[in-house]
């Protein structure tokens, strides 16, 4: 229990450093914070899920494995962010964000639909993993091309010292969040085992724990006035979390899948799109997001 609490405290501190670093880096490079959150921050704050997936997949090659653990961790994290995290963010205050986020909401729908397709037979093989990774590479390339088009020649005038300080703060905050999330996950798994839960249940709890870096970063970014970064980090992570970790793990070793969880992830992405396509977040939508997580919590009892 104490490990869980200490981990949460350090997550908050790490998110503070990462938020300040991301803002400084974006300003120094002349890039909108939204694109920083969709790329560097999204990948970095999702490192716990990626690390768990790769480690578990490698260990399964030579020893006992937890069937469904990797899939449940990734999908549980995506659902947590696409429902509860967005709801928590909207409870703080209403805000508006860039139209670009609509593209990223569509990417989340496509990613979750691909996951639903490859999960239909209950197994994600190496070809399925390659398909998920290919989509994520194409999505990230689209973001990078958007940055280049919008930045123009701004990158020629970079305050080197300011950019360096921002990157240092960002990396330090990310490192703190990664280690803190491991503490949160360890604490959650210990509690799960003590209650005799299944591998999928443990994976879901681990997924919830590894979602805290994204949530705390987004809350911090919101209070810093970076609404685009706050919402972009969660939406961008929704696509990355269910493509990169599961895709890489499947390339190492085929993974057990749960089509019901994949279907819920797809439904959550559709809900997010229809609620946020107007570029606005308010408390009424926040309540709807949080309510949309209730059926999934009930479904957990039937896994």
pLDDT tier, 271 (very low <50, low <70, confident <90, very high otherwise): very high
Residue 11 lies in a domain: no
Residue 171 lies in a domain: no
Instruction: Determine how β-strand 123-124 pairs with β-strand 255-256.
Output: antiparallel
C-alpha 119/C-alpha 114 separation (Å) is: 8
Highest mean pLDDT among 63-72, 85-94, 109-118, 145-154: 109-118
Instruction: Inform me whether the pLDDT recorded for 128 exceeds 90.
Output: yes
Tokens of 84: 């509860």
Instruction: Inform me whether the pLDDT recorded for 181 exceeds 70.
Output: no
198 or 114, which is more confident: 114
Domain of residue 278, residue span: 38-157+185-300
pLDDT tier, 91 (very low <50, low <70, confident <90, very high otherwise): very high
Residue 5 lies in a domain: no
C-alpha 20/C-alpha 221 separation (Å) is: 8
Give mean pLDDT, residues 41-54.
68
**pLDDT per position as a tens digit, 25-40:** 666 666 666 666 666 6
Residue 26 lies in a domain: no
DSSP class of residue 154? G
**pLDDT per position as a tens digit, 278-300:** 889 999 999 999 998 887 767 66
Give mean pLDDT, residues 222-230.
83
pLDDT of residue 284: 93
pLDDT of residue 167: 80
Q: Are 3 and 187 in contact (CB under 8 A)?
A: yes
43 or 287, which is more confident: 287
pLDDT tier, 161 (very low <50, low <70, confident <90, very high otherwise): low
Give mean pLDDT, residues 184-200.
69
**pLDDT per position as a tens digit, 168-177:** 887 887 787 7
Give mean pLDDT, residues 262-291.
92
> Residue 96: left (phi > 0), alpha (psi -120 to 50), or beta?
beta
261 or 40, which is more confident: 261
Lowest mean pLDDT among 18-22, 23-27, 59-63, 113-117: 59-63
Instruction: Inform me whether the pLDDT recorded for 16 exceeds 90.
Output: no
Give mean pLDDT, residues 13-35.
68
Instruction: Inform me whether the pLDDT recorded for 52 exceeds 60.
Output: yes
List the CATH number of the domain containing 224: 1.20.1420.30
Other Cβ atoms less than 10 A from the Cβ of 38: the count is 32
C-alpha 27/C-alpha 6 separation (Å) is: 32
Tokens of 60: 């399964």
Instruction: Inform me whether the pLDDT recorded for 153 exceeds 60.
Output: no
C-alpha 209/C-alpha 128 separation (Å) is: 26
pLDDT of residue 151: 56
pLDDT of residue 295: 79
146 or 136, which is more confident: 136
Residue 12 lies in a domain: no
Residue 162 lies in a domain: no
Number of domains the chain is built from: 1
Residue 28 lies in a domain: no
In degrees and rounded to multiples of 5, residue 141 shows phi and psi of -65, -40
Give mean pLDDT, residues 37-63.
67
Q: Are 108 and 273 in contact (CB under 8 A)?
A: yes
Share of the chain above pLDDT 70, in %: 71
pLDDT of residue 155: 45
156 or 108, which is more confident: 108
Residue 168 lies in a domain: no
pLDDT tier, 263 (very low <50, low <70, confident <90, very high otherwise): very high
């Amino acid at each position: 229990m104490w490990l869980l609490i200490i981990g949460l405290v350090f997550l908050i501190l790490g998110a503070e450093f990462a938020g300040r670093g991301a803002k400084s880096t974006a300003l120094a490079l002349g890039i909108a914070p939204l694109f920083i959150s969709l790329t560097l921050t999204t990948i970095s704050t999702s490192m716990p899920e990626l690390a768990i997936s790769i480690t578990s997949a490698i260990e399964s090659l030579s020893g006992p494995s937890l069937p469904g653990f990797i899939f449940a961790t990734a999908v549980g994290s995506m659902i947590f962010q696409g429902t509860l995290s967005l709801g928590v963010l909207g409870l703080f205050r209403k805000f508006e964000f860039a139209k670009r986020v609509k593209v990223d909401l569509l990417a989340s729908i496509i990613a979750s639909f691909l996951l639903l397709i490859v999960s239909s037979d209950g197994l994600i093989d190496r070809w399925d993993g390659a398909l998920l990774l290919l989509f994520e590479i194409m999505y990230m390339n689209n973001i990078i091309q958007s940055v280049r088009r919008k930045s123009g020649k701004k990158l020629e005038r970079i305050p080197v010292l300011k950019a360096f300080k921002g990157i240092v703060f960002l990396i330090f905050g990310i490192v703190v969040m990664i280690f803190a999330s491991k503490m949160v996950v360890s604490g959650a798994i210990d509690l799960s085992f003590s209650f005799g839960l299944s591998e999928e249940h443990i994976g879901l709890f681990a997924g919830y724990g590894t979602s805290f870096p994204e949530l705390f970063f987004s809350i911090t970014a919101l209070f810093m006035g970076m609404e685009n970064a706050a919402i972009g980090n969660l939406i961008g992570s929704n696509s990355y979390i269910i493509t990169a970790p599961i895709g890489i793990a499947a390339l190492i070793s085929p993974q057990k899948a749960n089509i019901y969880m994949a279907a819920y992830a797809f439904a959550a992405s559709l809900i997010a799109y229809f609620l946020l396509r107007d570029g606005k977040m308010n408390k009424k939508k926040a309540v709807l997001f949080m309510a949309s997580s209730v059926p999934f919590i009930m479904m957990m009892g039937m896994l």
